[in-house]
A and B are shown apart, each in its own frame.
Chain A
């Protein structure tokens, strides 16, 4: 892995915003005193008149974006996942989700890989919160290429979108020809004994897990599920049919996230055993991203172990 390029998807977000800003003059960016961390600072540098700092007031910021969208602007609103999806949940639900406004909520610092800041900033509930809002599209890119395409796809989609970007640098594995589509999963590796369905920065860990499994003659299919909602039912049902066992992997609580979405679909349409890997009803704590991911079992070794435990 030493020669693989690593980029944090929050950096991809900032860079993609600049590209989008060049072709779409109705794009505006709102921040809550975190432009340096959410990486919207590069957009601000390029388009200072189209970047609005709202100060440390996320609830107001979400609703300001809602108001702006009614005049034809396409606001990208940024903060940490904890505050965009958590603190401002009700604003998102009532004033973006309910009127179905064309606002893109782009949160960085999702999951425990936030690291040293500790549990107060490690949001492992954002998928659950955002999924529960009718009509909300929920996206979770796995690398730089996908993250940049997701920014453009979110802009092209008319309606409310939540995107979670990560803080930690992660391997870039897609080539530039990759085409992201909202609602479509991606088979990264075929297999027939077990299917590992992962999202976000853990997708590359899932691929490593499949490599470990192959040394034990276990053939694992790996699916990158960058769209948490609407769920790609077809690719999941096909995996359940072909492999008979499913492992879900996410840097999120095992309550309410991708794992539960998949379990719920399979329970209703094609019941097969599912094992969910995620943050298991616990708060995180300070530590490096690598240490924490390992401690919480969000790593290739644990994924391969769980895949063998059916």
Chain B
């Protein structure tokens, strides 16, 4: 990836992270951990990959994105806001009475949200429906969906994956944020879902395993998705939960907890340092 392009994505990621910590701080609740781990994915998807237009969010032939792990709405909202779908200031209304930024995504309220999600395991099925409908209608539409690794405990995920392979949905890109933590602890302790590569491969997917916080790796993965025919792609994103905020990194407690005032200040100062570092690189 060209250095300028990467710099742009890195700065986008910093803005997304700022939005995540600011919005959950303002809401006094929400899910920063899994939003931060998926930030590079969000930044790459909306910075480079997905064909959508913030000025025309309902365009008929746009690509679709379904946040199957709907609780990571702070990450999606911060991404959409910084991509121009709605004002960044509105992120501070997250989860508040009357806000169009509901605790979990609502497709009828928020510009850029293609499906209401929140109940785990269901988003991937709707993405399958969109991808199948696009093929049926002969439309060049790619459908992207992001799941959590804890979410893979839902049996419906595997029903959906079987469906995607059966109908050869090569326009469907399934990404899993493998940050290794869920509410009750390590995913390997709560309900071990390993080996994920073998599982998705056995279910008929083209499996790509990458460092999910690395833009170069993301670029290659999406290139592979575009070059894959007759089967869905599953990208296993190995990430760090809470990535980018030192005290949240790899801490299970930050799955669904908002930062307080001082924690917000520390997070923002760390993110500002990260921004300076990115800008210093020539």
What is the size, in residues, of chain A's interface with B at 8 Å between Cβ atoms? 29
Given contacts A55-B162, A57-B163, A99-B106, contact A64 B125 (CB under 8 A): yes
Task: Tell me the nearest residue of chain A to B116, going by C-beta.
Answer: A99
**Contact yes or no, A60 B128, CB < 8 A:** yes
Interface membership of B159, Cβ < 8 A: yes
CA distance A95 to B106 in the complex (A): 10
Task: Write the nearest CB–CB distance from B113 to chain A, whole angstroms.
Answer: 10
**Contact yes or no, B108 A100, CB < 8 A:** yes
**Contact yes or no, A66 B108, CB < 8 A:** no
Of the candidates B107, B116, B126, which one forms a contact with A64 in the assembled complex, judged by CB atoms under 8 Å apart? B126
Measured between beta carbons, the chain A residues less than 8 angstroms from B132 are 52, 64, 67-68
B91-129 Cβ-contact flags toward A at 8 Å (1 or 0)? 000000000000000111000001111110110011111
Interface membership of A91, Cβ < 8 A: yes
Interface membership of B133, Cβ < 8 A: yes
Given contacts A60-B160, A64-B132, A67-B127, contact A95 B107 (CB under 8 A): no
**Contact yes or no, B125 A59, CB < 8 A:** yes
B197-223 Cβ-contact flags toward A at 8 Å (1 or 0)? 000000000000000000000000000
Measured between beta carbons, the chain B residues less than 8 angstroms from A64 are 125-126, 128-129, 132, 160, 163
Task: Write the nearest CB–CB distance from B27 to chain A, whole angstroms.
Answer: 20
CA distance A199 to B116 in the complex (A): 34
Interface membership of A301, Cβ < 8 A: no
Task: Write the nearest CB–CB distance from B130 to chain A, whole angstroms.
Answer: 4
**Contact yes or no, A67 B126, CB < 8 A:** yes
Task: Tell me the nearest residue of chain B to A91, going by C-beta.
Answer: B122
**Contact yes or no, A99 B115, CB < 8 A:** yes
Given contacts A64-B132, A94-B122, contact A59 B114 (CB under 8 A): no
**Contact yes or no, A95 B116, CB < 8 A:** yes
**Contact yes or no, A57 B159, CB < 8 A:** yes
Interface membership of A1, Cβ < 8 A: no
Task: Write the nearest CB–CB distance from B61 to chain A, whole angstroms.
Answer: 10
Interface membership of B166, Cβ < 8 A: yes
Given contacts A49-B136, A57-B163, A60-B163, contact A94 B128 (CB under 8 A): no
Given contacts A59-B159, A60-B163, contact A68 B129 (CB under 8 A): yes
**Contact yes or no, B116 A67, CB < 8 A:** no
Of the candidates A57, A68, A98, which one forms a contact with B116 in the assembled complex, judged by CB atoms under 8 Å apart? A98
Interface membership of B278, Cβ < 8 A: no
Interface membership of B134, Cβ < 8 A: yes
Given contacts A64-B125, A67-B130, contact A54 B163 (CB under 8 A): yes
**Contact yes or no, B108 A67, CB < 8 A:** no
Chain A positions 198-226 with a Cβ under 8 Å from a chain B Cβ: none
Task: Write the nearest CB–CB distance from A70 to chain B, whole angstroms.
Answer: 6
**Contact yes or no, B129 A99, CB < 8 A:** no
**Contact yes or no, A63 B130, CB < 8 A:** no
A87-106 Cβ-contact flags toward B at 8 Å (1 or 0)? 00011001100111000000
Measured between beta carbons, the chain B residues less than 8 angstroms from A50 are 136
CA distance A60 to B169 in the complex (A): 15
Task: Tell me the nearest residue of chain B to A71, going by C-beta.
Answer: B133
Q: Which of B60, B116, B139 has the most CB of A within 10 A?
A: B116
Measured between beta carbons, the chain B residues less than 8 angstroms from A94 are 116, 118-119, 122
B62-99 Cβ-contact flags toward A at 8 Å (1 or 0)? 00101000000000000000000000000000000000
**Contact yes or no, A67 B159, CB < 8 A:** no
Interface membership of A84, Cβ < 8 A: no
Measured between beta carbons, the chain A residues less than 8 angstroms from B114 are 70
CA distance A202 to B240 in the complex (A): 60
Interface membership of B193, Cβ < 8 A: no
CA distance A66 to B128 in the complex (A): 10
Measured between beta carbons, the chain A residues less than 8 angstroms from B117 are 95
Task: Tell me the nearest residue of chain A to B143, going by C-beta.
Answer: A67
Task: Tell me the nearest residue of chain A to B166, going by C-beta.
Answer: A55
Task: Write the nearest CB–CB distance from B154 to chain A, whole angstroms.
Answer: 9
Given contacts A64-B163, A94-B116, contact A73 B126 (CB under 8 A): no
CA distance A275 to B121 in the complex (A): 42
A226-239 Cβ-contact flags toward B at 8 Å (1 or 0)? 00000000000000
A32-75 Cβ-contact flags toward B at 8 Å (1 or 0)? 00000000000000000110101101011011111111111101
The chain B residues found within 8 Å of chain A, CB to CB, are: 60, 64, 66, 106-108, 114-119, 121-122, 125-134, 136-137, 139, 141, 156, 159-160, 162-163, 166-167
The chain A residues found within 8 Å of chain B, CB to CB, are: 28, 49-50, 52, 54-55, 57, 59-60, 62-73, 75, 90-91, 94-95, 98-100
18 residue pairs A–B, Cβ–Cβ below 8 Å: A28-B136, A49-B136, A57-B163, A59-B125, A60-B160, A63-B129, A64-B126, A64-B160, A67-B115, A68-B133, A68-B136, A71-B130, A71-B133, A71-B141, A95-B115, A95-B125, A99-B108, A100-B108
Besides the contacts A60-B125, A66-B115, A95-B115, what 12 more A-B pairs have beta carbons closer than 8 Å? A55-B162, A60-B160, A63-B129, A65-B129, A67-B66, A67-B125, A70-B130, A71-B139, A72-B60, A72-B133, A95-B122, A99-B107
Going nearest first, the 3 A-B pairs with the smallest beta carbon separation are A67-B129, A63-B125, A67-B126
